[in-house]
Amino acid sequence: MTTLYWFSGTGNSLAVARALAQQLDDAILVPIASLPASGTIVPTSKRIGIVCPVYFYSLPLIVKEFLDRLDLSSADYTFLVLTMGGLPGMAAHHARRRFRRAGKRLDAAFSVGMPGNYIAMYNARGRESAQRMAVRAEAAAQRIASAVASQRARRSIGRLALLPVSALIYAVIGRRFAADCRSRDERFTVTDACTSCGTCVRVCPVENIRIVGGRPMWQHHCEQCFACVHFCPSEAIQILGTRSAIRRRYHHPEVSVEDIEAQRTAD
């Protein structure tokens, strides 16, 4: 049996996890956000996979904390699948280091190019471009599933020549992002277009949003997944100091509000 632990904001990693599960007959999907926030996590499967996005050249904080609590003593094969809008950066290296702390080797790491969603810094891809990437990602998931089924080792992803550059970029901006990630929601604001529909509350994987006086209020334990921004039906949520108001919203075309909402509860 294969257990696929996943975390997703706008659906890219969930779509890849689903595609892998379809190819791996015995796979089960477990959303990381549904797991207890403390205590050791002991999988029952012998084959363990983690599917998550790359955030600022590393792993999302929720995934790092999950890996620090994961008991891999009974695992025979472990693998990581990164979805990314740019480069994998140091994400696989940081995962590998955490696996070593747990006394286990990360046997394989893979990456899948997907539309980026960090609207605070750049525009999302257009619909046609995003759909083309989704098709390519589906094919990539099939190749990854084949490698996982045969328990193939794959130690590196991306170009090794870029690793020193990635390490430098992470040192300059990645560490800063990790340090203040959860308070960066202080920059989130909402316009009069807000209808108090509560979609932002529903899609937040860490229950970081409350509706107060008819408007969303962020509680400063944010993962910066931007699900609230991209799924808002009226595009009312903006990020102060950025051009978010004129940038496209994005979520994976096959992932719904209900799908993202459901990651807070175990299947």
57 contact partners, CB below 8 Å, separation of at least 6: 87, 89, 90, 91, 166, 169, 170, 173, 174
| CB count in 10 Å sphere of residue 130 | 18
Among residues 201, 252, 200, the alpha carbon closest in space to that of 228 is found at 200
pLDDT of residue 174: 87
**CA torsion angle for 231, 233, 239, 242 (degrees, to 10)?**
100
CB 259 within 8 A of CB 139: no
Residue 11 to residue 220: CA distance in whole angstroms = 22
- Considering the entire predicted model, what is its pTM? 0.94
- In the chain, which stretches have pLDDT less than 70? 156, 158-162, 266-267
pLDDT of residue 127: 83
Helix (H) or strand (E) holding 101: helix 91-101
pLDDT of residue 225: 97
Helix (H) or strand (E) holding 131: helix 127-149
222 contact partners, CB below 8 Å, separation of at least 6: 181, 182, 183, 184, 185, 206, 208
| CB count in 10 Å sphere of residue 79 | 25
Whole-angstrom Cα Rg for the chain: 18
In order of their start, the domains of the chain are 2-165 (3.40.50.360), 180-258 (3.30.70.20)
Helix (H) or strand (E) holding 128: helix 127-149
CB 64 within 8 A of CB 173: no
Structure tokens at 262: 């459901």
pLDDT of residue 161: 57
